[in-house]
Every structure is written in structure tokens, then in C-alpha cells.
Amino acid sequence: MNHPLRHLQDLWSKAKQSGVLPHRNVICISTIDDQGFPHSRFVDLKEINQEGLIFCTDLKSNKAKEILNNPKVSLTIWWEHVAHQIRIQGFCSLIDPQLADSYWEKRVHDAQVVSYIFDQSQEIEHSKPCNKNFLMKKVNMIVII
Ligand SMILES: Cc1cc2nc3c(=O)[nH]c(=O)nc-3n(C[C@H](O)[C@H](O)[C@H](O)COP(=O)(O)O)c2cc1C
């Protein structure tokens, strides 16, 4: 039998080729807070390599704080188009900063702008000022570039 990560790479490759779902990279990651409660949310799967599965997040986010406090995580994936549910438990660790930078550079411009403006996991009090702030920042960034 294939190594589980190799098998997962093959499945992911098939899942990306077939099917019509727009978000075929989305996976659910669950972390544990300091009270022992699980928290689950979706993230984008960036890559599967020999060491594991890679996703990116803000290190100031709740999930990052939870992982730094307790690296035990679980992943749940549903690839309908290849008829597989995948459930993984393991340990999460930081990737090399240069690799993290390369993923950042590949993000679409709007996503980079939003990451600059908003602190992930923090409440947004009023949507209008935020939208205005977003537009202002976007314009600034376009001018600078
Ligand atoms: C389709 C989809 C993809 C997402 N991808 C990411 C991602 O790659 N990284 C990330 O940090 N958050 C991603 N999010 C947002 C997270 O689900 C979550 O709301 C956010 O990271 C804050 O979570 P936290 O407060 O538990 O840290 C995605 C959300 C959706 C709906």
C-alpha cells in the first residue's frame, strides 16, 4: 500500500482535476483551546508534501494561538468528486519563513490587502468604516505599486 501522504497526494490530484466545485482546496482544521474545547474552521490546503499538509494563516489568529499552545490538530476533508472523506489527526508546526513568504507572494492582491488591514479573528464593529478603510488602503497600495 502507498504511504498515506502519497495516497493523499494522488487523491488530491484527482480531486483537483475532476468535479465542478470552485473551492476544491478547502479543508476543515480543528484545534483545541486552553479549556479543552475544539474549534473548527475552513482553510485552504496549499500543498501536500512528504512532511505533511500545508495551510497558511495569520500567526495572531485564534487558531494559530491555539496551535502554538497545543499543536494537536485534526483535519476533515470531503472530496465529493472522488467520493472520499478524509480524517487526519496529527501535530502542527510552523513552516520555513521563506516558504511562508512565497505563499504570501502568490496570494491575490485583494487578499493581501485584507490581511494588512484586518486582524484575523477580531470582531469588526461597523462594516461601513471598514469597507472605506479597505478601499482607501487598496488605492494606496495600487498607487505605491
Ligand atoms: C472557503 C474558505 C477558505 C478559507 N481559507 C482560509 C485560509 O487559508 N487561512 C485562514 O487563515 N483562514 C481561512 N478562512 C477563514 C477561516 O475559516 C476563519 O474564519 C479565520 O481563519 C479565523 O479563524 P480563527 O479565528 O479560528 O483563527 C477561510 C474561510 C473560508 C470560508
Query: Is pLDDT larger for residue 121 or for residue 95?
Result: 95
Least reliable range by pLDDT among 71-75, 78-82, 140-144: 140-144
| Ligand 1 midpoint to CA 66 (Å) | 14
| Cβ contact 94:84 at 8 Å | no
Which residues, including other chains, have CB under 8 Å from residue 93's CB and lie 6 or more apart?
Answer: 71
Give the pLDDT confidence score for residue 116 in this predicted structure: 74
Give the pLDDT confidence score for residue 128 in this predicted structure: 53
Backbone phi and psi for residue 64, each to the nearest 5 degrees, phi listed first: -65, -40
Least reliable range by pLDDT among 45-49, 62-66, 132-136, 141-145: 141-145
Give the pLDDT confidence score for residue 121 in this predicted structure: 77
Class of domain 2-122+129-142: mainly beta
Give the pLDDT confidence score for residue 99 in this predicted structure: 92
pLDDT over 90 at 22, yes or no: no
| Assessment of whether the complete model's pTM goes beyond 0.95 | no
Q: Which of 42, 47, 123 to mutate to test the pocket of ligand 1 (most atoms within 8 A of CB)?
A: 42
| Strands laid side by side in the 84-91 sheet | 52-55, 38-49, 26-32, 72-79, 84-91
Q: What angle do CA 79, 21, 99 make, to 5 degrees?
A: 75
Q: Does ligand 1 have an atom closer than 6 angstroms to the CB of 112? A: no
Q: Does ligand 1 have an atom closer than 6 angstroms to the CB of 104? A: no
**Where is 80: in which H helix or E strand?**
none
Which residue in 137, 95, 89 sits closest to 112, CA to CA?
137
Q: Which long-range contacts (CB under 8 A, 24 or more apart) does 16-20 make?
A: 18/81, 18/82, 19/79, 19/80, 19/81, 19/82, 20/81
Place of cell 478601499: 135
Band the pLDDT of 94: cuts 50, 70, 90.
very high
| Ligand 1 midpoint to CA 140 (Å) | 25
Query: Is pLDDT larger for residue 2 or for residue 105?
Result: 105
The pLDDT tens digits of the residues spanning 25-76 come to: 899 999 999 999 999 999 999 999 989 999 999 998 999 999 999 999 999 9
